[in-house]
Amino acid sequence: MTTPDADDHAPLLSIIIPTFNEAANIAPLVDAVGAALGTIAWEMIVVDDDSPDHTFDVVAAVARTHPHVRCIRRVGRRGLASAVIEGALAANGDVVAVMDADFQHDETRLPLMYRAMIDQKADLVVATRYGSGGGVGDWDPTRAAISDVATRMGRILIGDATTDPMSGFFMVRRAVLASSVYDLSLQGYKILLDIISSSPRRLRIAEVPYTFRGRREGQSKIGPMVFAEFLFLLIEKLSRGLIPPRFVLFCIVGGLGLGVHLVILNGLGAIGFSFLAAQASAIGGAMLFNYVLNNEFTYRDKRLTGINAVFGAFAFAIVCSIGALANVGVAELAIQQTDNWSIAGIAGAIMGAVFNFGAASSLIWGRREKRRRKAAA
């Protein structure tokens, strides 16, 4: 098969690079990708989440001498998965590659992946760390074990479709993405698993092995929330969207808040507070704890800051107070119908959680989204 020269205006391959604080890696990455792809016509779309280090400005500077490089700067929204899809929807190539900017993904594998896509008529080509010839580099045992567990869990969704469902380095036909874009969860970092599990048909998947490399510049984005978001993706896909992952996290935070409530209550009781005073303090402390954690994690993509965070805390307290009344009301109805304290308590707790989640999502963390839609209209 002959391929157009890389200087042609119509790219065959669009490379999507989601970034956050990757300014130092952009120019070297463009040069490395160009050297690796040779005569394959390509473009690079950097999707930057408004990086504090001004990665978007570096991309603009590089684009002055490399017109096949461009940047989508996202303001007010975050997340690798959504960044990948946004970049892919703006791509001109029929084939879309996804890779990180930090050189942990081996750019010299790109032409082999593209050749596998064409020769094997594949829908998707995965750069695998776990196939024959691949590897995880110098990972410590803990990270390797976590990755192994995540890989096994990912196979619950997609079976043996690929040896590396957690890979962030892959190539897919743009038409495949277009066919499933409305079904994608867009949760967290594991967009490959999302694509495979959301496809309306079984995909033809090829693999190319590679060895995971160490980061060249910048800091790793891996943290507890990455694994948590992976679990939320599994929950959403296994429940077929019936259980919103954000609601799961909201309930987990509520459970932690209950623990905080009991600690404060018993601690104040031990130093001589009356029950009423200790209970009131415990309620306030638990509400504040829940608000802070929800603002930081559950609604991290809509996080309130500054004076909005202060108003949000007061609004959250009001919402939770009304939710407590809903809890008691439903529990009272349930006890009349069942005469069972456990069933009544569970029914009230579920009602309170659902009300708090819905009201908080709409009235507190949904206000900015509403303003954005109004401005767009």
N- to C-terminal Cα separation, the chain: 48
Interval 17-34 mean pLDDT: 94
pLDDT, residue 4, reads 42
**What is the 8-class DSSP label of residue 51?**
-
Beta strand 170-173 pairing with 124-128? antiparallel
Please check whether residue 255 is in contact with residue 353, taking contact to mean a CB–CB distance below 8 angstroms: no
Whether the per-residue pLDDT at 108 is higher than 70: the answer is yes
Q: 291-327: per-residue pLDDT in tens?
A: 999 888 888 778 888 999 999 999 999 998 888 888 7
Which of 59-63, 145-149, 168-172 has the weakest average pLDDT?
Answer: 145-149
Please check whether residue 295 is in contact with residue 312, taking contact to mean a CB–CB distance below 8 angstroms: yes
Indicate left, alpha or beta for 305 from its phi (over 0: left) and psi (-120 to 50: alpha): beta
Interval 35-64 mean pLDDT: 94
pLDDT, residue 117, reads 95
Whose CA is closest to 46, among 38, 57, 36, 37? Answer: 57
314 Cβ contact list (under 8 Å, min separation 6) = none
Percent of the chain with pLDDT over 90: 38
C-beta neighbour count of 225 within 10 angstroms: 16
Whether the per-residue pLDDT at 43 is higher than 90: the answer is yes
Mean pLDDT of the residues in the chain: 84
pLDDT, residue 348, reads 74
Query: Cα(104)–Cα(152) distance, rounded to whole angstroms?
Result: 22
Please check whether residue 162 is in contact with residue 196, taking contact to mean a CB–CB distance below 8 angstroms: yes
Query: Cα(354)–Cα(267) distance, rounded to whole angstroms?
Result: 30
- CA 157-96-299 angle, to 5 degrees, is 55
Residue 245 or residue 172, greater confidence: 172
Predicted confidence band at 275 (pLDDT cuts at 50, 70, 90)? confident
Beta strand 69-73 pairing with 42-48? parallel
pLDDT, residue 166, reads 83
pLDDT, residue 3, reads 43
Which of 86-100, 148-162, 201-215, 248-262 has the weakest average pLDDT?
Answer: 148-162
Q: 182-237: per-residue pLDDT in tens?
A: 878 766 567 888 888 888 889 999 999 999 987 665 555 455 556 666 666 666 66
Whether the per-residue pLDDT at 2 is higher than 50: the answer is no
6 Cβ contact list (under 8 Å, min separation 6) = 34, 37, 38, 39, 40, 41, 42, 68
Element (H, E) at 90: none
pLDDT, residue 240, reads 66
Strand partners for 72:
47
Residue 191 has, within 13 A of its CA and on its CB side, a CA count of 28
Residue position matching structure tokens 């415990």: 282
pLDDT, residue 224, reads 55
Q: Rg of the Cα trace of the chain?
A: 24
Interval 148-160 mean pLDDT: 79
Which of 45-59, 247-261, 329-343 has the weakest average pLDDT?
Answer: 329-343
Q: Nearest 5°: phi and psi at 40?
A: -75, 125
Query: Cα(133)–Cα(130) distance, rounded to whole angstroms?
Result: 8
pTM of the entire predicted model: 0.69
**What is the 8-class DSSP label of residue 182?**
G
pLDDT, residue 219, reads 55
Displacement of CA 336 from its chain's centroid (Å):
44
Whether the per-residue pLDDT at 375 is higher than 70: the answer is no
Strand partners for 206:
125
**What is the 8-class DSSP label of residue 54?**
-
Whether the per-residue pLDDT at 98 is higher than 90: the answer is yes
pLDDT, residue 72, reads 95
